[in-house]
Amino acid sequence: MNDPLGGSLLPPEEHVLSTLEADGRRRWLKPRLSKGSYWRKRRVVAYALFAVWTVLPFVRIGDMPAILLDVPARRFTIFGFTFLPTDTVLLALALLGLLLGFFMLTALFGRVWCGWACPQTVYMEFLFRPIERLFEGTTGRGGAPRKPVSAPRIVGKYVVSFLACLYVANTFLAYFVGIDRLGAWIVAGPFAHPVAFLVVAAVTGLMMFDFMYFREQMCILTCPYGRLQSVLLDRDSLIVAYDRKRGEPRGKASLKVLGQAGDCVDCLRCVTTCPTGIDIRDGLQMECIHCTQCIDACDDVMRRLGRAPRLIRYSSQARDEGRGRRLLRARTVIYPVLLTGVLSAFFYVLSGKTDVQTTVLRNPGSPFTVTEANGVRNVFQVKMVNRAAKPRTVEIRIALPDEARIAAGHDRVVIEGGRTISAPVTVEFPGAAWPGHPVPVVFEVRDASTGEVLGKDEVRFLGPVGRVSKEAKVP
């Protein structure tokens, strides 16, 4: 190749990246399906996950959905307990625990999450790829389909994929808006809830973009977890690897008989089946999502040749270097220790949380009033959030000081599971007992039938400075 300055440049490699041609075009992948023992196991896992993800939004614990991530209301209900915006410590601990869990999982089992349980892989490989194969046929040895695909088949593929995206998008949304609200949106139609319709349309559009166009680029370019692999894996982590000692030098099957070649016959089946387009024989690569398709493909080749399977197999870099795989090492000790600490802190903080989060706020307007009988009154709003799934009938009480009493307002209310209620309450201090300066008042919210204290809050009670009189001043 000539360059403009008259020198010569090295020709570019065939593929700059696994999905990028030398001239900058995207290299479209049509991975060949390899049905082997791992694929069958992954299919069972995938169908189980489809079922769980679809059913979970319908599951209720008491009055609440099992999982509801209500972002606008900043309330997150997870298996019967509602987390509120004030639970920042809990949220931080939960996220830290999740991160450490992922770090530990990766140190032990490599990218098992990516290959077996990530929704991107599971939906792509076990829903959208089968739809594509149904309409376009299988891809033989990889690359383009064997025959040009007719227009009706392409239309059919997009129509069915669109319906599948609609299903995935609605499943996804159900976790954020709840199945009841989503059902109401669907029944009422787009004109009754145009904003909701636009949300559903946008999420469906994003799903179409992802599963029809972006595909493996999500794992290769976008996913932060994928990009962290080089620091999360160590030499003892479980990886999918090619047995170089056994496979090299590559060559025809007949050369093996002459002792001039290893077990790899360079058939490229492991490459054409790879959903990210890499050649696992080049070693561990960031693009590898550990989907095990190359293991199944190579096992099939080995079986046909009458050779032992697992030329590509689950292994570790340490094992491939001739050392045994160590289970006990710095990161498999440090991560569990940290995780135990974080989870202990999480459950400790959680155990201190009351079932009914109670916040008492002063009513706007006059800070106090003096009654005809010289009693001093303050009006408060008692805001109660029932974190639990079941409804609660609660009583509002003044725990301290003894002289204060509820003069008017709601002292007994029913709060549905996961709901918030605000009750106006007027508290009165008898004039004779008024100390002449602001005093703290403790509100208690008790279960009406058992008397158990479910929540409490303290607020300052305001009144006149000195003795009570009609001309009392605001302190």
Which CB, 236 or 299, lies closer to ligand SF4? 299
Least Å distance between CB 208 and ligand SF4? 24
Least Å distance between CB 263 and ligand SF4? 7
Contact, 274 vs 264, CB < 8 A? no
Which CB, 289 or 388, lies closer to ligand SF4? 289
User: H helices then E strands: how many in the chain?
Assistant: 17, 18
Which CB, 288 or 370, lies closer to ligand SF4? 288
Give helix 151-177 / helix 129-136 axis angle, nearest 10°: 160
Contact, 279 vs 294, CB < 8 A? no
Which CB, 61 or 289, lies closer to ligand SF4? 289
Q: Rounded to the nearest 5°, which phi and psi values hold at 153?
A: -70, -40
Which CB, 233 or 312, lies closer to ligand SF4? 312
Which CB, 290 or 387, lies closer to ligand SF4? 290
Which CB, 247 or 455, lies closer to ligand SF4? 247
Kindly list the distances between the CA atom of residue 316 and the CA atoms of 34, 178, 197, 238, 242, in Å, as whole numbers in the listed order: 23, 43, 48, 5, 10
Q: What is the DSSP string of 367-390?
A: S-EE-TTS-EEEEEEEEEEE-SSS
Least Å distance between CB 238 and ligand SF4? 12
Least Å distance between CB 266 and ligand SF4? 5
Least Å distance between CB 245 and ligand SF4? 13
Least Å distance between CB 269 and ligand SF4? 4
SS3 call for 366 = coil
The answer for residues whose C-beta is within 8 angstroms of residue 155's C-beta and 6 or more apart is none
Least Å distance between CB 47 and ligand SF4? 20
Can you give the binding site for ligand SF4, defined by CB under 6 A?
240, 242, 247, 264-270, 273-276, 278, 280-281, 288-294, 297-298, 301, 311-312
SS3 call for 38 = helix
Q: Token pair 């491939």 is at which residue?
A: 320
